[in-house]
């Protein structure tokens, strides 16, 4: 059984990788023809960002479509195959009401909303500098999606338990709802803040999903693990073109959907308190923004040269690719540490 599921998960990831790799040139060409290009914020509002990223103006965005479209497309194809050929290719199907309905729906809805934001940004429409939705508007969207998910988990699935690593499970009742909303909101917000350098968020998300896939597999939630594997495969293909110098950017359609999906899977696997280890860079990046804003309000001066944190290191003279690779290394080590804690909690 374990061997069968392991092979299935690997096959799903490999198929997703090659499908996304094949689709990418066509989608990239479409973005070019439709002038779906990134607008860079003005130098008055964000001088450090503008200094290092002015040259990227006009780079196509919304490359994240490659990831979620591949995952959802394969989910549909595998589901149809399971109905037509239940004894053969149908075994690749990972659509499962108990495990993957919610993350699939969350991925799709967040992706569409992010795509709208990307379109507004490319046309210079919206309240944000350079176009697109303001942080406040995005926050409202995150909270609405999170609230719907919290309602489903608590009232439909009856979930109200939080696991504290190395200690055990605690029933928290209705407190589960605000915690769920916070986790989803924080994941989406942090993903959006991290997606600022070529390949940065893609790599950070990759390690987070690998960790969550491992957890899902150990918990015998094989369809959820296969769903995560499809994301990993498509994400690897995306990174092939997104590492420095990026052929295109992920856009909000990618960062918003992947960020929310990371949060949902963490809730499904009851690894909420391990998520800061699985996605430590997301935590650090968002905290840097919050601390910077608080310092400017309270002390009247900055702590960092620029935020999110990756821009601070750029301002310190680190090359973009160096920042990305070092953040990847930190992500990998932290994810492994989180898995060690998970295994100790489960088997000791």
The span from the CA of 201 to the CA of 324, in Å, is 9
pLDDT score, position 106: 95
Cα angle 94-249-42, degrees, rounded to a multiple of 5: 145
Bridge partners for 138 per DSSP? none
The span from the CA of 233 to the CA of 248, in Å, is 18
Does 245 sit behind a cis peptide bond, omega within 30 degrees of 0 on the bond before it?
Answer: yes
The span from the CA of 261 to the CA of 231, in Å, is 10
**In which domain, by residue range, is 276 found?**
2-347
How many domains does one find in the chain? Answer: 1
Closest CA to 62 of 94, 32, 22: 32
pLDDT score, position 50: 54
The span from the CA of 115 to the CA of 136, in Å, is 17
Instruction: Spell out, as residue ranges, where the chain has pLDDT lower than 50.
Output: none
DSSP 303: S
51 burial (CB, 10 Å; 0-12 / 13-18 / 19+) is: middle
Polymer length in residues for the chain: 348
pLDDT score, position 10: 97
**Which bin fits 186, alpha (ψ -120 to 50), beta or left (φ > 0)?**
alpha
pLDDT score, position 46: 59
pLDDT digits (tens, 9 = 90+) for 88-144: 677 899 999 889 999 999 999 999 999 999 999 888 787 666 667 888 888 898 899
Closest CA to 192 of 259, 142, 144, 244: 259
DSSP-derived 3-state class of residue 170: strand
pLDDT score, position 85: 83
Give the CA count within 13 Å in the CB-facing half-sphere of 92: 22
Closest CA to 228 of 215, 205, 209: 209
- What sign has the CA pseudo-torsion 27, 29, 33, 38? positive
The span from the CA of 90 to the CA of 200, in Å, is 35
Angle, helix 280-298 to helix 200-218, in steps of 10 degrees: 130
Residue appearing with tokens 């997606």: 195
The span from the CA of 315 to the CA of 310, in Å, is 9
pLDDT score, position 136: 85
């Amino acid at each position: 059984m374990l061997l069968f599921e392991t092979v299935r998960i690997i096959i799903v990831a490999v198929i997703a990788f090659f499908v996304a790799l094949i689709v990418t040139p066509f989608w990239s060409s479409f973005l070019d023809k439709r002038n779906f290009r990134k607008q860079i914020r003005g130098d008055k509002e964000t001088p450090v960002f503008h200094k290092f990223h002015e040259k990227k103006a006009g780079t196509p965005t919304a490359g994240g479509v490659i990831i979620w479209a591949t995952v959802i497309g394969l989910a549909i194809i595998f589901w149809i195959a399971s109905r037509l050929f239940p004894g053969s290719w149908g075994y690749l199907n990972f659509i499962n009401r108990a495990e993957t309905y919610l993350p699939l729906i969350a991925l799709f809805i967040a992706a569409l909303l992010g795509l709208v934001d990307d379109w507004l940004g490319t046309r210079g429409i919206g309240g944000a500098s350079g176009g697109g939705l303001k942080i406040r508007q995005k926050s409202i969207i995150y909270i609405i999606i999170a609230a719907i998910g919290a309602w489903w988990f608590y009232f439909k699935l009856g979930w109200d338990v939080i696991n504290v690593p190395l200690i055990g499970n605690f029933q928290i009742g209705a407190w589960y709802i605000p915690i769920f909303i916070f986790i989803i909101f924080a994941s989406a917000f942090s993903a959006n803040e991290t997606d600022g350098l070529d390949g940065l968020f893609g790599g950070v998300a990759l390690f987070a999903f690998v960790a969550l896939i491992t957890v899902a597999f150990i918990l015998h939630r094989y369809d959820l693990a296969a769903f995560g594997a499809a994301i990993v495969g498509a994400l690897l293909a995306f990174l092939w073109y997104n590492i420095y110098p990026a052929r295109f950017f992920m856009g909000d359609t990618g960062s918003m959907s992947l960020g929310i999906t990371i949060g949902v899977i963490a809730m499904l696997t009851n690894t909420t308190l391990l998520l800061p280890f699985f996605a430590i860079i997301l935590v650090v990046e968002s905290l840097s923004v919050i601390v910077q804003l608080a310092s400017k309000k309270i002390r009247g001066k900055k702590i960092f040269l620029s935020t999110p944190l990756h821009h601070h290191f750029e301002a310190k003279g680190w090359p973009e690719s160096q920042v990305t690779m070092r953040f990847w290394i930190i992500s990998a080590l932290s994810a492994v540490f989180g898995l060690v804690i998970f295994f100790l909690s489960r088997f000791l």
